[in-house]
Amino acid sequence: MNKLLLLLFFTLSLSAAPPQKDVADYAENIKKSSATIATLSASFVQKKYLSALEDVVIAKGIFSLKKPDKIRWQYSSPFLYTITINGTVVSMKDDKKTSQYDMKQNSAFQNLNAIISGSFDGSILTKKELFTAHFSKEKNLIKLELTPRDKKFTLKKITIYFDDKEWLTQRVILTEQNRDYTDISFVDITKNKKVSDAIFTP
Amino acid sequence: MRFLLLNILSFFIVAGLTSCAATPYKNLPKLTGAPPLALTLSLDKKLLYTASVDIYNHHINGLIALKKMKGGEIRIAFLAQSAIKLVEFRCNEDKCNPSFIMDKIEGTGVVERLQEDFHLLLMKDVALKEAKVVLDDSNKNTRIYRFGRGTRRVFYSVNKKSGHVTKIEKRRNNRLVVSINLSNYNSDGVPLTIVIQREKIKVDMKLVVWD
């Protein structure tokens, strides 16, 4: 915990930073909240901004998480598509085909998964070898900005918004090295509802 | 001896059939006074396709977004289903050039093939400005526009009744290089399904609603 706080303190910009006590509180609250999560379900809206096309592609679906290592993204609009992660096995299912591979073989996907699931289970705050972190407050949301240490990483910045009551992830923005970004908002988040293992098996 | 003769005969029959199959347009009569070939893809509205890609032994799912910009340039983005952009093209009057390539797919040959396929779909090739020969396949109610000369030729098959392009084939030395099938056109004149088939590569595209 001390190491984590040290990392956060070092990476904060002094001018824009909230008081250090608040930062410690944010990290602590996120960690505490994530410790109470066994399962999580939410609807999501994914907005992909394409800079070259000056347009946005919007997709919707259901997100499910079951600790310690099960995740499911079920897209229902404008296409049917499901990504499940069960341990290190990633399965992708469209209307015709299911394909599977070991996440260990795809470092990009492994990192992306670490970001999204890590924002929910709090483990993102321990990935100090991957990111530098910066907290700030925007109205009733806590904003966490993560900058990858590897400049060649697919993403330039990851921004995560937590609510300041339950400390659950409300929104994730993945900014790519080009000017494109993906903005995922979660709504109707339910915690610790029974989620069957079967949905993580394609 | 009789068995050997039969074998030799069978060989020539099979070889003859294969040869015909490799050049299906060879004996078709020429048409005169055919209307010019209309654009393959109508881009009055922006288009979004899901893309299921089988490449060698890998399977990738993604999205292909096409949009005509105000100045007339067509921009195409190929995204992984996780929404990360893999490649982007900007197509002007004659060319589709990549304007972004994700480093992981650079040098794999995928971009060059996609570029060639979009050239064919959008007819972005100087050599394709005007068909030299139009053939008539009455059996299939199809007009075939033949472009190029020498060993490199491109054939666009058009349904005579609807005027829609149903198939595009690129051949080199009469060998099929790429085949693109377009089907289930909607009322806007946009194919709901596009299947691009190359050796060891298949791209199955399905139109979805892009609000």
pLDDT digits (tens, 9 = 90+) for A56-75: 999 999 999 998 889 999 99
- The answer for A 1-40 residues in CB contact with B (under 8 A) is none
Per-residue pLDDT tens digits for B171-190: 998 899 999 999 999 999 99
Residue A3 lies in a domain: no
Residue A9 lies in a domain: no
Residue A7 lies in a domain: no
CA B140 to centroid of chain Cα atoms = 19
Q: What is the mean pLDDT of chain B?
A: 83
- The answer for A 99-158 residues in CB contact with B (under 8 A) is 99, 108-109, 112, 152, 154
Residue A67 lies in a domain: yes
CATH code at position A24: 2.50.20.10
Residue A41 lies in a domain: yes
- The answer for B 54-83 residues in CB contact with A (under 8 A) is 59, 61, 63, 65, 67, 69, 75, 77, 79, 81-83
- Where does the pLDDT of residue B134 fall: very low under 50, low under 70, confident under 90, or very high at 90 and above? confident
Q: What is the mean pLDDT of chain A?
A: 82
Instruction: Report phi then psi at A192, rounded to 5.
Output: 60, 30
Residue A33 lies in a domain: yes
Task: Quickly count: other Cβ atoms within 10 Å of residue B201's Cβ.
Answer: 17
Closest Cβ–Cβ partner in B61, B75, B82 for A53: B75
Chain B residues with CB-CB distance to A55 below 8 A: 46, 65, 67
**B193, two tokens:** 């399904």
ipTM of this model?
A: 0.79
pLDDT of A110 strictly over 80: no
Per-residue pLDDT tens digits for A12-55: 222 344 555 566 678 788 888 888 999 999 999 999 999 999 99
- B23 by DSSP, 3-state: which? coil
Rounded to an integer, what distance in angstroms lies between the CA atom of residue B58 and that of residue B155? 29
Please name the amino acid found at residue A175: T
Nearest-Å Rg of the Cα atoms of chain A is 17
Rounded to an integer, what distance in angstroms lies between the CA atom of residue A121 and that of residue A42? 14
Rounded to an integer, what distance in angstroms lies between the CA atom of residue B211 and that of residue B206? 16
Omega into A148 within 30° of 0, i.e. cis? no
Residue A32 lies in a domain: yes
Distances (CA, A) of A17 to A6, A8, A135, A174: 14, 11, 7, 22
Residue A2 lies in a domain: no
Nearest to A72 by CA among A202, A201, A200: A200
Which helix or strand (DSSP H or E) is residue A171 part of? strand A169-176
Sorted by where each starts, the structural domains of chain B and their CATH numbers stand as: 30-206 (2.50.20.10)
Give the residue, A183 or B81, on which the prediction is more confident.
Answer: A183
- Identify the domain containing residue A191 by its residue range: 18-200
Sequence-ordered strand ranges (E) for A6-54: 39-50
pLDDT of residue B6: 45
Sequence-ordered strand ranges (E) for B81-209: 85-91, 96-101, 133-137, 142-147, 152-159, 165-172, 175-185, 191-198, 201-208
Total domains, chain A: 1
